[in-house]
Amino acid sequence: MTGTIKSRIKSIIAEQAMLEPDQISDDSTPEDLGIDSLGLVESIFALEEEFDISIPFNANEPDKSDFDISNMGTIIAAVQRLVAQKAA
């Protein structure tokens, strides 16, 4: 299940970044992937739609958000947490 979530997240981000999923590693940052602020907001929207979750993210203070966007690893962990919370 975890692997499935991870691969779904990777394919969403890959589509946004116009890359192949295997080009994305856990330590890739949005910047590394060429995702700008609008691209990030779009990616978050796509993740919300895919998993039917609500991601707390304010573009004005990305660092203060509970949703850590530092790199793919933190994004995947945060989405997994939100999906688990939803199931609970």
Partner 1 sequence: MSPKKTGKKTAREQSVGAGDRSASPHGDGLRRVVITGAGTINALGHDVETTLAAFREGRSGITALNFRDVDRLSIQIGAQIHDWRPEDYFNRQQILLYDKFTQFTLLAAKQAVAQSGLAFHGALGLRSGVILGTAGGGLNTWDDNYRAVYEEGKNRVHPFVVPKLMNNAAASHTSMEFGLRGPSFTVATACASSNHAMGLAFQMVRSGAAQVMLTGGSEAMLCFGGVKAWEGLRVMSKDACRPFSANRNGMVQGEGAGVFVFEDYDHARARGAEILAEVVGFAMSSDAQDIVMPSAQGAERAITGALRDAGLNPDQIGYINAHGTGTAANDKTECAAVAHAFGHHADRLMISSTKSMHGHLIGGTGAVELLACIMALRDGIIAPTIGYQEPDPECALDVVPNEAREAKVDAVLSNAFAFGGLNAVIALRSI
Nearer to partner 1, 44 or 82 (CB): 44
Q: Least distance in Å: CB of 61 to partner 1?
A: 5
Render the burial of 48-87: b for 16+ CB within 10 Å, e for the rest. Answer: eeebeeebebeeeeeeebebebebbeebbebbbebbeeee
Cα distance between residue 86 and residue 73, in whole Å: 20
Q: Least distance in Å: CB of 23 to partner 1?
A: 25
Q: Does 57 bind partner 1 (CB under 8 A)?
A: yes
Q: Does 58 bind partner 1 (CB under 8 A)?
A: yes
Nearer to partner 1, 8 or 45 (CB): 45
Q: Does 85 bind partner 1 (CB under 8 A)?
A: no
